[in-house]
Structure 1
């Protein structure tokens, strides 16, 4: 087995030695983690690593793991015996297994019938209450203790892993993959300077040609903070002209939110699931992230890269991700959230400062090459034989 150095991509394996075989196990299907696995697979393959991605068929259709040069094996996201058996068969000749997410980590730990280096990346954390919260702690403890190295995408995830008994928990270098030249695009200019040809069209379609457009993106789930966001609308309803808030995302909370919007006659539109977030960002005046917890929010990264001033809750990994390049407010404080929006809409200088600071902050984030190099260093550490003293 040969691990090709990150310093010499495309280098062939020495004669008579086979390349490292790294199995990637995809977790719950979040867009961020799946895009990360595709980016990671591409970088590893380019550096001579043999990669197999275990993921459902629909994930392969969406992310085209085989397009990176990796092999794909269809494995369902369940812990039933057939799924575990399929995963065990793939891992039988693996030199290292890397699971992405809590549930992927659980499945992989069940499938590993022999001692093999086992890396787990926690990209986010699950939310549970009551008896389910106890079960969640037990799952986290099992996965954390099974991992040779557990990588967390934010410092609080690393702390959480350590509290669950992880032997070796570290901060992960995770880039925002940029298919097609950029997720969200943008060059750090203000809206007038960065709005592409689809910007005015999107504003017209949304009904915001002569009013500020506020954009939030995220699943319509309780912990995402959309209820607080609707409370905050009352704060900026006195602004002239009244801003329009659009929320892209789908989820179980939609009927409840729609009832409130109609009953209170709020200037809010629920857009459902959208594939055109970069275009929506190109049209937006402000981006809003009201979540109760985030790790490395893809939307926050897209907003800063696109040159859109961001108002976000100071939770989880958001403060370390955005630094001072966003307006940070306490979670659950509708007054603070609404007040930040009103202040920014009335302060063009502050908005432009945030745009410029956001471009600088985005430049500090890991690149995809740096992400692959970091993961390779972990693989190298775990797979190279320990020399005798």
Structure 2
């Protein structure tokens, strides 16, 4: 395609962590987006190499913002000085700020909603004002892309003024082939494989991921002697309150049942090295780890919270109520005592097709074409 015919998409990312970062890596590495040029405005200069790797071989630009005000100025300046066919904002903050600029310059705007809302976010007078302002912003956006049907329903429940035809749900996907064909990593751990069950916890150390409920569940298993094999929880994320969490674990006399692993770039191999994965989240917009575990053929026990329940439904995964340590302990003990790896391995063929990236990337490409041409 000649340069004069190419369309430039401006990606605006205020918080490129966790699911947003993984989504960007998964989606934009697909060849289907090669016909577009991309510019990125994001807060971390250290992420430039991350984005350059994703957009390697394409016309790509990167600019750094320091805070919300600086992001607003950078988006304003860029759209004023360049021909932008589409602003694609990632996350509610980036979407809200970008909406102002998109309206001023009459540029098409797509926002991907990577999270869900909680009632406590809109409590009190300030919360009501915030909700009113967000509603005004969201109804002005040309299209909002949600990553699960749960997230769609959540958005409409909080902001019913948004027209349903302006919301497009494209359930998440992952690099299914990578997880399906991976081999288990050598964890370099010294433990008795016959007497120990490795439980993977891959969430960040933040309240949303429900780590404290996993701590409680392990204590119940040990205290009540629910299994003959010892549980050993391996954690892989240094984010959030990791030091405080491990001090708390030690204070409860559970240190031997938890082990902090080094950060890894081999998620597929590490997941396959687990006996099971625990995902006791309080809420998710979707739940990529659930997809990765199912495609890897590794048993997963997850909370039946918004977003994650959608991913794990109609699969061998065991769902327990959020914030229920007793139920989580029983489910973990059942899997430790009667492993279901064979069932999960057999289901991995189904998961491989269900969560393939080809579907979400091609559907997002259709949205790009629809918005830009419309």
**TM-score under structure 2 normalisation?**
0.84
- Select the residue among 189, 192, 205 that pairs with 2:189: 205
2:329 to 338, 341, 345: 338
Q: Sort the Cα spacing of 1:141 and 1:70 in 2 relative to 1 into closer, same or farther, 3 A.
A: farther
- The root-mean-square deviation of aligned C-alpha atoms, in Å, is 2.7
For residues 241-256 of structure 1, what are the structure 2 equivalents within 5 Å?
241-256=229-244
Superposition map of 1:1-389 within 5 A: 12=1, 18-43=5-30, 46-56=33-43, 57-64=45-52, 65-76=54-65, 78-80=67-69, 82-92=70-80, 93-112=83-102, 113-125=104-116, 134=128, 137-138=131-132, 140-162=134-156, 163-164=158-159, 165-167=161-163, 168-177=166-175, 182=178, 185-187=179-181, 196=184, 198-199=185-186, 202=187, 204-205=188-189, 207=191, 209-210=193-194, 211-237=196-222, 238=225, 239-266=227-254, 267-271=257-261, 273-325=263-315, 326-348=317-339, 350-365=340-355, 367-385=356-374
Corresponding pairs, count:
355
Rounded to whole Å, the distance in 1 between the matches of 2:138 and 2:190 is: 45
Distance 1:370 1:307, change over 3 A: same
Q: Distance in 1 between matches of 2:73 and 2:134?
A: 22
Confirm or deny: 8 A CA contact 1:60 1:72 kept in the other structure: no
Indicate the structure with greater helix content: 2
In structure 1, C-alpha distance between the alignment counterparts of 2:269 and 2:146, rounded to whole Å: 30
Q: Distance in 2 between matches of 1:253 and 1:35?
A: 21
Distance 1:208 1:20, change over 3 A: farther
Structure 1 position 208, deviation (Å): 5.3
What SS does structure 1 have at the residue aligned with 2:172? coil
For the 8 Å contact 2:297–2:341, the answer to whether it is kept is no
Q: CA distance change for structure 1 residues 111 and 44 in 2, over 3 Å: closer, same or farther?
A: farther
**Residues 247 and 206 of structure 1: is their aligned pair in 2 closer, same or farther, counting only changes over 3 Å?**
farther
Q: Distance in 2 between matches of 1:74 and 1:208?
A: 50
Distance 2:261 2:116 in 1: 26
Q: Deviations over 1:301-332 (max 9, x none)?
A: 22112221000001112122122321111001
Assess if the C-alpha contact under 8 Å between 1:28 and 1:77 holds in 2. Answer: no
| 8 Å contact kept, 1:41–1:51 | no
Instruction: Report the Cα distance in structure 2 between the residues aligned to 1:74 and 1:309, rounded to whole angstroms.
Output: 41
Structure 1 distance, partners of 2:362, 2:66, is 28
Residue 6 (structure 1) aligns with: none
Greater CA drift, 18-27 or 216-225: 18-27
TM-score (norm 1): 0.81
